[in-house]
Amino acid sequence: MTLSNRQIADIFDTVADILQLKGEIIHRVLSYRRAAESIRELPRDLSAIAAEDKLTEIPGIGDTLGDKIKEMLTTGKLGLYERLITEIPVGVVEIMRINGVGPKKAQLFWKELNITTVQGLEQAARAGKLRDLSGMGVKSEQKVIEGIEALSRRQVERVPLGTALPAAESILGVLRALPQCLQATVAGSVRRARPTIGDIDLLVAVREMSDSPAIMQIFVTLPNVARILGQGDTKSSVELLNGLQVDLRVLPQERWGTALQYFTGSQAHNIKTREIALAKGFSLNEHALSPVDSNGTILEDAPKLLCETEEQVYHHLGLQWIPPELREDSGEIERARDQTLPRLITLDDIHADLHMHTTWSDGKHTIREMAEAARERGRKFIVITDHSRSLGVANGLSIERLLEQQNEVRRVDQALNGSIRVFHGTEMDINADGSLDYPDEILVQLDFVIASLHMSLRQERDQITLRLLNAIRNPHVDLIGHPRAQMLPNREPVDADMDVVFTAAQQTGIALEINANPARLDLEAQYARRALDLGILLAINTDAHTIEQMDLMNYGVMTARRGWVTPDHVLNTWSLERFTTWMTQRGQ
Ligand code: DGT
Ligand code: CA
Ligand code: CA
Ligand code: ZN
């Protein structure tokens, strides 16, 4: 059996861990980590890419790692990994991953006390056996215990962007109101709009660093702070009641640009920008661009370049300013150098919402209420898409009720008199056996048809792929809703063969959804980007079950931006005329 992308990424991650434990040079460790990360984000199977001999086109994969991937694909194993795991017990790798332990200490506990499991480490720590080791003490022993406790407390490692962003905004609201605060923003993975977040990184600019302590004091005593993890003048960290960690950095206004660029990341993007800076004779960090000599040593007497804006940082590097959502070292730097970054979609481009539910199935508001709320939000047209008959749990519509609903949609549409157009559609289930939940003679009567997977999501790859193909090949279906059926942060996507799915979509001209609900964000960015490359149309929809959920559109837009999506490829940026023409032509 061939290894999946995920299995290969896991092997690379463990290799990185073990190499780090063995004290390998950090460059080698990082190259395995970067490869693992890159593989997890791939929109295609490694085996398919290998068959086209294109492994080295994957960011972070060169000849060496490409060969290792081939080895795993053909033999199901990696010789290097097999060797490494005989050298170091797996438990030691786990210990290394505990917050506050790291490779050096894991090695120490193993060599000195023969500790090879997390449980063994906890016992030793509680028995006071760690404090006498060299470099340890009562305090660091306590830290180990806390690290292990945090391990069991933290059920999920990452939280959805939809949890982190509002938490960040609410803290920023408090900080921005302080007189010492000149500006405040979120950086890190939240600013890059990753679908899940490790921790929140906030930045505040002040005129003088003497303004910092007052800000830090307010920050660490916010009402939703559970614990203070550290408090200083330049950096403080807290854990919120919901378990999220927030890092706040305070810095002088004149260094805002370099700091924002640095702390937005990603690490891979920053490695590249630092290389470019070095080639231009500068060392780039969060404080400044500092002139260096030919050995890369900072020239202390030479004046440093301070940047108050990110645009200045990128300008000094000879680059166009790069939208944060693109900063993953996946081609954005090359395009910025050529001044050819795409004009990414924004929330202002969105005129429509093509997926929403009402009281007819499992929504909370009526058709009229949803339509008026959409109009208030500036939408020019919407489609009402309640669930279909098989989805009993969601009060799915029988054929009779569906047709009855159509009358009401028409009435509401007329009553609103062109101030917003309301179309009638469905979110039809793709049944477990691959059949579609309504017959063609019913589908043909609807304005717009979404087909989605909701049940039997753990089926074998062939069956899941077949279900999607049946929907894609039906000429009455216009859009596949949340195509991978993932739930963030923990429910895995379906195991469909996405190459096959995309090829079929390309042939039939069906559109694929980016579902904006932060629990879904599906298609994810890398798949959206692949769809775009193949010329497949997209739609960004809220799938709102309440009026309030219509405001989640921005998460879909951020995801699309991460996927390099430009407005023209997205149905709901189109004019009413263009959309209706497209709709009418399909299914004929
Ligand atoms: P997360 O928190 O796991 O969702 O992901 P990020 O990207 O927010 O990562 P985080 O919080 O560790 O750091 C935020 C950014 O700050 C990161 O993208 C790059 C920068 N950064 C922080 N620490 C370091 C570091 O030690 N080295 C480098 N090169 N960059 C760093
Ligand atoms: Ca972070
Ligand atoms: Ca952080
Ligand atoms: Zn839905």
Whether 329 is in the pocket of ligand 1, judged by its Cβ within 6 Å, is: no
**Ligand 1 atom index nearest CA of 197:** 4
CA gap 226, 107 in Å, rounded: 32
- Quick one: which atom of ligand 1 is closest to the CA of 262? 20
CA pair distance 531, 512, nearest whole angstrom: 8
Which three-class secondary structure state does DSSP give residue 575? Answer: coil
How far apart CA 517 and CA 515 sit, in angstroms, is 6
* Ligand 3 centroid from CA 71, angstroms: 36
Which protein residue has the closest C-alpha to ligand 1 atom 30? 267
- Domains in the chain (CATH in brackets) are 5-88 (1.10.150.110), 91-153 (1.10.150.20), 159-254 (3.30.460.10), 265-337 (3.30.210.10), 347-586 (3.20.20.140)
Q: 31 Cβ partners below 8 Å, 6+ apart?
A: 60, 65
236-269 burial, b at 16+ Cβ within 10 Å, e below that, comes to bbbbbeeebbbbbbbbbeebbbbbbbbbbbbebb
Q: Is 199 in the pocket of ligand 1 (CB under 6 A)?
A: yes
Cα separation, 429 vs 390, in Å, equals: 7
Nearest-CA residue for atom 24 of ligand 1: 267
User: Over its length of 588 residues, how does the chain's per-residue pLDDT go in tens digits?
Assistant: 689 999 999 999 999 999 998 889 989 999 999 999 999 999 999 999 999 999 999 999 999 999 999 999 999 999 999 999 899 888 898 898 888 888 889 999 999 999 999 999 999 999 999 999 999 999 999 999 988 887 766 555 789 999 999 999 999 999 999 999 999 999 999 999 999 999 999 999 999 999 999 999 999 999 999 999 999 999 999 999 988 999 999 999 999 999 999 999 999 999 999 999 999 999 999 999 999 998 889 999 999 999 999 999 999 999 999 999 999 999 999 999 999 999 999 999 999 999 999 999 999 999 999 999 999 999 999 999 999 999 988 899 999 999 999 999 999 999 999 999 999 999 999 999 999 999 999 999 999 999 999 999 999 999 999 999 999 999 999 999 999 999 998 889 999 999 999 999 999 999 999 999 999 999 999 999 999 999 999 999 999 999 999 999 999 999 999 999 999 999 999 999 999 999 998 866
Kindly report the backbone phi and psi dihedral angles of residue 361, in degrees, each rounded to the nearest multiple of 5, phi listed first.
-120, -110
Which atom, in ligand 1's list, is nearest to the CA of 158?
A: 4
In sequence order, the 6+-apart residues with CB closer than 8 A to the CB of 326 are: 332, 341, 344, 561, 562, 564
Phi/psi region, residue 24 (left: phi>0; alpha: psi -120 to 50; beta: rest), is: beta
Residue 265, ligand 1, Cβ within 6 A: yes
Q: Is the peptide bond before 203 cis (omega within 30 degrees of 0)?
A: no
159 contacts 196 by C-beta, under 8 angstroms: yes
